[in-house]
Amino acid sequence: MRLRKASALAASAAALVLTATACGGGGDDGITIGIKFDQPGLGLQNEEGDFVGFDVDVARYIAGELGYEEDEITFEEAPSPEREQLLDRGDVDMIVASYSITEEREEQVDFAGPYFVAHQDLLLRTDTEVPTPEAINDLTLCSVSGSTSAENVQRDFAPDANLQPFNTYSECLTGLENGTLDALTTDDSILAGYAAQEQHQGKFALAGLELSDEYYGVGLPKDSEDLEDVNDAIAQMVEDGTWEELVQEHFGPANYEADAAPEIGARP
């Protein structure tokens, strides 16, 4: 399936047709994008039912560059353990959901981008001392099943830690708040979003350890014909200043300093 609605050569003709028909998209003409529903700052469905966050706006921008109007975009929840299956089954056309590029995942899906670089960190209660990297082995940690963060803990920097995997970061946060967990570990961009929420302000803080580099890519079905078009959309988003505007809008309130936009094709 080609996601671009009209090629560059046919853009003018397509615009005339759309104007003549005077109707929106939807149905077979729409695009379905997998996002997170529970990651403040990145992908969140708020109390009003709207989807907000950096990844959400990146997804909207890319869809717009591919020729889709706002009402032609359908957002589907893409939990970490299910992302590859959602693409393989065709349930979504692409995934923009803090989806870290790894060699193992590239065997199953294609990645456009990257469009963002985050770093794995710990979220602690504010009354907790920041541990040394070695002392992380003594902690009870939580992360999300199927995430690179959980894999990194067991493989790289804290193989002896008591890792408690849950389906969502919100579940981890509950355990951290009630004291059954010592820390939540995932990307610092995700942690900053939680710490900045009004109901959590003053309760949690990032350790600032930068335990890994996580390159976020746009997930596409394997051997996708749309890889170049999506890469072009990401490059345009950076070039026209939209990327920086979105970073400031969604991460600025959390005092989170993001890395510069990565080069297309960069890998960990």
CATH of the domain at 134: 3.40.190.10
Mean pLDDT of 99-108: 96
For residue 130, pLDDT over 50 is answered with yes
Residue 93 lies in a domain: yes
Q: How far is CA 111 from CA 131, 181, 188, 226, in A?
A: 34, 33, 21, 10
pLDDT score recorded for residue 8? 41
- Regarding whether 129 and 182 lie in a shared domain, the answer is yes
Residue 81 lies in a domain: yes
Q: Provide the domain count of the chain.
A: 2
- Regarding whether 222 and 204 lie in a shared domain, the answer is no
Radius of gyration for the chain, computed over Cα atoms and rounded to the nearest angstrom: 19
- Regarding whether 237 and 145 lie in a shared domain, the answer is no
Residue 86 lies in a domain: yes
Residue-wise pLDDT tens digits, 221-250: 999 999 999 999 999 999 999 999 999 999
Neighbour tally for 124: CB within 10 Å: 22
Residue 267 lies in a domain: no
Q: With cut-offs at 50, 70 and 90, classify the pLDDT of residue 3.
A: confident
- Regarding whether 90 and 70 lie in a shared domain, the answer is yes
- Is 198 or 94 the better-scoring residue by pLDDT? 94
- Regarding whether 112 and 20 lie in a shared domain, the answer is yes
Residue 259 lies in a domain: no
Residue 146 lies in a domain: yes
Residue 229 lies in a domain: yes
pLDDT score recorded for residue 19? 39
- Regarding whether 90 and 22 lie in a shared domain, the answer is yes
Strand partners, 32: 74
Q: Which long-range contacts (CB under 8 A, 24 or more apart) does 45-53 make?
A: 51/75, 53/193, 53/250
Q: With cut-offs at 50, 70 and 90, classify the pLDDT of residue 27.
A: very low
User: Are residues 70 and 60 in contact, defined by beta-carbon separation less than 8 angstroms?
Assistant: yes
User: Are residues 210 and 149 in contact, defined by beta-carbon separation less than 8 angstroms?
Assistant: no
Number of helical (H) and strand (E) elements in the chain, helices listed first: 9, 12
- Regarding whether 107 and 46 lie in a shared domain, the answer is yes
User: Are residues 91 and 76 in contact, defined by beta-carbon separation less than 8 angstroms?
Assistant: yes
User: Are residues 258 and 139 in contact, defined by beta-carbon separation less than 8 angstroms?
Assistant: no
- Regarding whether 143 and 81 lie in a shared domain, the answer is no
If you search the block for the tokens 């770093």, which residue do you land on?
A: 119
- Regarding whether 227 and 179 lie in a shared domain, the answer is no
Residue-wise pLDDT tens digits, 154-183: 898 899 999 999 988 888 999 999 999 999
* Structural domain containing residue 100: 8-117+215-254
Residue 263 lies in a domain: no
Q: State the chain's maximal CA–CA distance in angstroms.
A: 66
Residue-wise pLDDT tens digits, 51-95: 999 999 999 999 999 999 999 999 999 998 899 999 999 999 999
User: Are residues 116 and 262 in contact, defined by beta-carbon separation less than 8 angstroms?
Assistant: yes
